[in-house]
């Protein structure tokens, strides 16, 4: 009897970017198939069977997705990033080049899709996480980490931006033929 782990290993295995196995159609013994999704790096509860040890039969399919998450808002490099096991909201901020001055680190949002299609918004205080006092949140594939602007910090940043972009300090010399 072959197991799901052997099937995944047979096609090259799940690399470090794989965040979850999804669309997993496995035979349910007597009456057809069951569909489920499980994360590769999720901790198992006591007595829970490791999903990679489930038996597989002809006709079963396992899709290993490449885990990705998005960082949006007031960070240096917003965008889509590859998920690595153990990635947290604070790590996402670092991967995206760090927070810009107007970012409200006390109310960073993690927008997470639920299985029923609805969205869940988790709030994390990354200022406290950075000082060692707060609790960071582990990311999941498909999460969006959003850094909104703090109204208090936006005013001085706007003044800085206007002066920086309207008044250039320095001199330029034009050299002909270069």
37-62 pLDDT, tens digit per residue, is 665 556 667 777 776 677 777 666 66
Q: Is the pLDDT of residue 10 over 80?
A: no
* Mean residue pLDDT across the chain: 77
**Residue 4 confidence (pLDDT):** 66
Which CATH fold topology does 68-166 show?
Answer: Outer membrane lipoprotein wza fold like (3.10.560)
Residue 127 has a pLDDT of: 92
Work out the number of other CB atoms within 10 angstroms of the CB of residue 137: 20
Domain ranges of the chain: 2-66, 68-166
| Mean pLDDT on 131-155 | 89
Nearest Cα neighbor of 54 from 7, 109, 18 is: 7
């Amino acid at each position: 009897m072959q197991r799901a782990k052997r099937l995944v290993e047979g096609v090259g295995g799940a690399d470090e970017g794989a965040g979850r196995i999804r669309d997993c159609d496995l035979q349910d013994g007597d009456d057809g198939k069951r569909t489920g999704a499980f994360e590769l790096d999720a901790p198992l509860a006591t007595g829970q069977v490791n999903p990679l040890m489930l038996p597989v039969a002809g006709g079963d399919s396992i899709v290993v997705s490449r885990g990705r998450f998005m960082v949006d808002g007031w960070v240096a490099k917003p965008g889509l990033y590859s998920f690595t096991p153990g990635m947290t909201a604070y790590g996402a901020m670092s991967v995206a080049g760090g927070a810009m001055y107007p970012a409200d680190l006390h109310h960073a949002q993690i927008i997470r899709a639920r299985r029923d299609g609805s969205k869940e918004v988790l709030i994390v205080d990354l200022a406290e996480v950075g000082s060692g006092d707060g609790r960071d949140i582990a990311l999941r594939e498909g999460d969006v980490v959003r850094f909104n602007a703090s109204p208090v910090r936006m005013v001085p940043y706007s003044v800085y931006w206007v002066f920086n972009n309207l008044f250039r300090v320095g001199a330029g010399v034009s050299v002909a033929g270069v």
